[in-house]
Amino acid sequence: MPEITPKFDIILDRDGVINLDSDAYVKSADEWISIDSSIQAIANLHKAGHRLFIASNQSGVGRGFFTLDDLNAMHEKMLNLIHQAGGKITDIAFCPHTPDDQCDCRKPKPGLLTSLANTHHISLNSAIVIGDSLRDLQAATNVGSKAFLVLTGKGKKTLQENPNLPYPIFETLYDASQSILT
C-alpha cells in the first residue's frame, strides 16, 4: 500500500515571503515583484494537494499609502502568476488597519488566522504558517499552528533580533515547501 502523505492547510504571509518587501511599502501592482521561486513553491504545494491561504498585514491602506483598489490589483497580479504556474490560493485575508487602530486582525493578534479558519474549516492545530517576521510566528503560536520562518524579506533581521527562535528556519519559501513535500 502506498504511503499517504498528510495534506496541510498552509497560511502564508505575503510581503517578504511571496514578494519582495519594501520599507516604503509595496504600493502598486508595478511594485509587486515576486521572490524567485516563491510562485513555483506555491504551485508545487497546491499540486501536492495542500490548501494555501494568505494572511497579511496591509497597514499601507490605513495609512493612506495605497487604496483597496491598488491592493486588489497587487493580489490579481499575484494570483495570475500563481495560476499560470499551476497553483491556487484558496483565500486571502488582510488587515488594512494601522497599529494605532487596536483591531483584532493585525498580526500578531489571531484575527486573520481565525477568520480564515472559520470560513474554510481549517484546523489551526494542524496548519502551518510561514512568515518572515516575529509577528507572523507569534500569530501562529497564538492559535496553536506550526510556524516556519523564512529568511527572505525581514527574516534575517527577525532571526538576528531573536537568535533562539524555536521554529524551523528556511532560506526561502521554496526551501520551506521542499521540507513540507518531503
Q: How many domains does the chain have?
A: 1
Cell of residue 177, nine digits: 515547501
Question: Is the pLDDT higher at 143 or at 1?
Answer: 143
Count of Cβ atoms closer than 10 Å to residue 115 Cβ = 16
d(CA 83, CA 119): 22
Q: Domain of 142?
A: 9-181
Q: Is residue 2 part of a domain?
A: no
* 173: three-class secondary structure by DSSP: helix
**78-94 pLDDT tens trace:** 999 999 999 999 999 99
The single-letter DSSP state of residue 7 is P
CATH assignment of the domain containing 50: 3.40.50.1000
Cα separation values, 49 from 37, 150, 179, Å = 19, 22, 15
Q: Is there a contact between 11 and 130 (Cβ–Cβ < 8 Å)?
A: yes
Averaged pLDDT for residues 152-163 = 98
136 is catalytic: no
Comparing CA positions, the residue from 151, 152, 157 lying closest to residue 169 is 151
Q: Is residue 50 part of a domain?
A: yes
Q: Is residue 84 part of a domain?
A: yes
Q: Is there a contact between 131 and 15 (Cβ–Cβ < 8 Å)?
A: no
Q: pTM, whole model, 2 decimals? A: 0.96
**53-64 pLDDT tens trace:** 999 999 999 999
129 strand-pairing partners = 11, 147
d(CA 41, CA 50): 11
Identify residue 112 by its one-letter amino acid code: L
Q: Is residue 141 part of a domain?
A: yes
Q: Is residue 41 part of a domain?
A: yes
Q: Which of 9, 13, 132, 136 is catalytic?
A: 13
Phi, psi of 8 (to 5 degrees): -115, 155
Q: Is there a contact between 100 and 55 (Cβ–Cβ < 8 Å)?
A: no
Q: Which of 9, 15, 21, 136 is catalytic?
A: 15
15 is catalytic: yes
Give the start-end residues of each E strand in the chain: 9-12, 51-57, 91-95, 128-131, 146-150, 169-170
Predicted confidence band of residue 5 (pLDDT cuts 50, 70, 90): low
Q: Is residue 4 part of a domain?
A: no
HSE at residue 179, side-chain half, CA atoms within 13 A, is: 16
